[in-house]
Structure 1
Amino acid sequence: MTQDGERAVVEGDSEDRISYLPRNVLDRILELIPLQDAARTSILSKNWRYIWATLPNLVLDYRLCRTLILESESNFKEAVDDILLLHMGDIMKFVLDTSGARLSSYAVIDRWVLYVTRNGVKKLTLQVSNFDTYTLPSSIFNCSTLTKLTLFKCVFKPPNSFLGFQNLITLYLQWTTFLPTTTTSFCVIKAPRLAKLTLNSCHGTQYLNIVSPGLKSLYVRDNHYYLFLNCFINCKNLRVFELELDDMVNNPKHDEKSTPEKLLVNLPALEVLHLDSFFVELLSAQVPNGLSFTLNCLWHLSLGVDFGKMGQIFYALQLIKSSPNLSKLDIWVDFTSNNAEAVSKNLNTLACLERPLDKLKYVDINGFESSEAEMLFVKLLLSRTPSLLTMCIDQYTDIDIDIALELKRFHRASPRAKLFY
């Protein structure tokens, strides 16, 4: 400040440095603030007048949509119409999340989806309702530019003319219902470039037929019906496979191709496998006498195990033995029992692992409860892993001092092995 109270001008103080940042930086700044605030930057100066209108990514997230809808549904529709009407150039990413409120009609959403699919959208996310399902319009199935599609609570019924998603790389579907076309008994998804697929609590998988020979990552979670897996039987290039089941449900109509066992046999390139305890239980019932195949490429195995059931422990050991190049093992203790005498009797013998696990370096055991079966399992692994570097045992409470001393006394085949608990 000068003596007369006027603000002194510092060199460079009058410059508008932000406006002259690279365009990709300006776009990123505007993407980090709510879209309404980004639109308000148009009044800052001539340089800022049209920047927000050419943003390649339009994110109408839960907070923004809910705020507008609570004001009035008509205001919400008008606001989105204005955003799309004033937008210039291609829309690379479009996110719409109206799950926090009911809309009287989804016709307006069909119109918005039609607009963005005609303007080069590559990444599309739709979460329309928590209360109803949204039937996908034909414009999505006709969009050839899509590389990533994320859908929540939608009805997936391709039109008869559907030729497939030719450029789709990532597909995430949650609470989605598959329906066959009117001329076939399947819901066929042709996606030759699809690399990553997630099916989370979806319905109608018995109608699903995936035509994607290049699929590399598959995550499936089911919590209502028996899961049909035969649609993935030809995904020979699968590298990552995760299966979770919230409950055991019998389905007498499933055929042999629907079983996880039959699927695993057909995945020669599999590198990462995660099975929760429900699937381990299902597989242990299907293969009571051991595995008939080898997972030569598998290096990371994650299993949920009920240590009160010898069948699950036996199958877990079979998977471990059938993975000669296994480097990392994660065990998630689902349940345990100190009265499992049969489990303890069988685990207290090296016959469970005839050959040493020469490649296994890292073991994590989560939810450890210090039961006799778990202790013998740890003892067995330590004695048969000459390459082991670390074993981490995690439980919800501190391990008892006596348990800690016993763990420390277990023989270790690897002189470099470190035990953390």
Structure 2
Amino acid sequence: MARGRDRISQLPADILDHILGFLPIKDAAKTAVLSSIWRDVWLSLTQLNFDHEFFCYMYKKHRHAIKYAKKSAVSLYVINKVLLLHNGTIRKFVLSFYNVGIRAIRSRSYDFDQWLLFVTKKGVEEIYIRFDKEAYKLPGCVFSCSTLKRLHLYGVVVEPMKFPCILPNVASLCFECVDFGPINCLDCAIDVPVLEKLSFIQCHDIFHFDITAPKLCSLTIEHCSSTVRGKFLPVSLDLRSISTLDLGGRLQGLFKEITSMGFQLNVEYLKLSCHHGFYTKSDGSSSVFVHLLRLCPKLGKLDINSFWFESSLTNCMDTLLELHAAAQTNKMLRTLKFISFEGSRSETLFIKDLLASFSTLEKVVIIREKRYCKKDSTGVMLELLDLPFASTKTKIIMV
């Protein structure tokens, strides 16, 4: 065993660092007692992952502490100690501060600010920050960090900014449960020059994040809402460069704003996770789904998750006719995927409508919900196959 350990110790430092990167940080720290080589690697670890597992370990280890706040203080002390002793570059920094009240978060904001200031000066390329409460205001050093390439923020507050360019080298940016204020204090949009992938998940008033992103190719908006009627998307965000669009939740407000832009999208891959009113008409106008198809004539791949179709679907002949008409403008749709299929009548009818409408379909994948009985799949497959498909090349796969 010792001989094998010695052979591992002889590996280059970057390989050892890569190995430790797969371990929880508490286990990576234990390797420091093996030898001076492992101690040096530990003190220069490029991935510092203070995640939920780390905090659970600390709370369990100090479970006899009288107050929960005291357990949190011990965890923060350990993080301070690790950062203080660290040498070299930090490529990835994860901080998931769980189960702590707003008062505790605010009282420790100075510590969090100092950690991020330290990390952003160490060549960090990826940051993931999570709080359960929207109480921590993210410092400006994160948005001005020149080495940062990926940023994921959960449960933080993003304050107004006074500079025209942010995140100069960030290609992937994700906001979850983020509280946005009027972020732009200037009279123009903020530029995020190399941003390629942008996600808003369960956020409010994302229109405050008014940016220009000339290289943006992937946009995700899931379960977001707006408190201002007629405002949803950032005004200056140009959607014409987007090839992948992922939408979830109630889409009516977002859809109206996209439609008002007056141009078609270049979306090739569309992902949808929708609620009531998605397919059938709700106010005398065409359905959201049909309008999205019309707006995406270059669509080649379509994923649909979480079916919420009304029982009156069988009476929506007008919607079906509109679906056929929309399909005539799309000659590129090759792949359909249905996720969380439960075998309901509405789901089956919807799939049949699509199969009968798109003449270019080649592959249809139906992924059953886990609770869906496998023996029912035969009946559904027979029902779907008992229909003249618009495309003779269509193959159905049910998993």
Query: Which category describes the TM-score, using the shorter chain as reference length?
Result: 0.7 to 0.9
Report whether the alignment pairs 1:64 with 2:86: no
Instruction: Decide which structure has greater helix share.
Output: 2
Once the two structures are superposed, the pairs formed by residues 388-407 of structure 1 within 5 Å of their partners are 388-393=361-366, 396-397=372-373, 398-399=375-376, 405-407=382-384
> Does structure 2 retain, via aligned residues, the 8 Å contact 1:171–1:197?
yes
- The Cα RMSD (Å) is 3.8
Report whether the alignment pairs 1:111 with 2:114: yes
Matched residue, 1:213: 214
Number of paired residues? 376
Matched residue, 1:410: 387
Deviations 1:364-419 (A, max 9, x none): 44536463x76665555444544433334556345487765443332234444334
2: CA distance, partners of 1:400 / 1:38: 47
Once the two structures are superposed, the pairs formed by residues 255-404 of structure 1 within 5 Å of their partners are 259-263=257-261, 265-266=262-263, 268-278=265-275, 281=277, 305-306=278-279, 316-317=289-290, 319-320=292-293, 323-332=296-305, 333-337=307-311, 339-340=312-313, 342-344=315-317, 347=320, 352=325, 355=328, 358-366=331-339, 367=341, 369=343, 371=345, 378-393=351-366, 396-397=372-373, 398-399=375-376
The TM-score, its normalising length taken from structure 2, stands at 0.78
1: CA distance, partners of 2:304 / 2:260: 23
Instruction: Give the 3-state SS of the residue equivalent to 1:65 in structure 2.
Output: helix
The TM-score, its normalising length taken from structure 1, stands at 0.74
CA 1:378/1:185 → structure 2, altered by over 3 Å: closer, same or farther? same
Matched residue, 1:291: none
Matched residue, 2:166: 164
Contiguous gaps of at least 5 residues in structure 1:
1-9, 282-304
Matched residue, 2:66: none
1: CA distance, partners of 2:226 / 2:274: 17
Which piece of structure 1 moves more, 310-319 or 381-390? 310-319
Instruction: Give the 3-state SS of the residue equivalent to 2:210 in structure 1.
Output: strand
Once the two structures are superposed, the pairs formed by residues 136-285 of structure 1 within 5 Å of their partners are 136-161=138-163, 163-180=165-182, 183-184=185-186, 189-225=190-226, 228-231=232-235, 233-246=237-250, 259-263=257-261, 265-266=262-263, 268-278=265-275, 281=277
Contiguous gaps of at least 5 residues in structure 2:
63-70
2: CA distance, partners of 1:321 / 1:161: 38
Q: Give the aligned residue type for 1:53.
A: L
Deviations 1:122-178 (A, max 9, x none): 211211x31342111232233222211111111111442464221111111111112
Larger Rg: 1
CA 1:384/1:151 → structure 2, altered by over 3 Å: closer, same or farther? closer
Shift of 1:315: 5.3
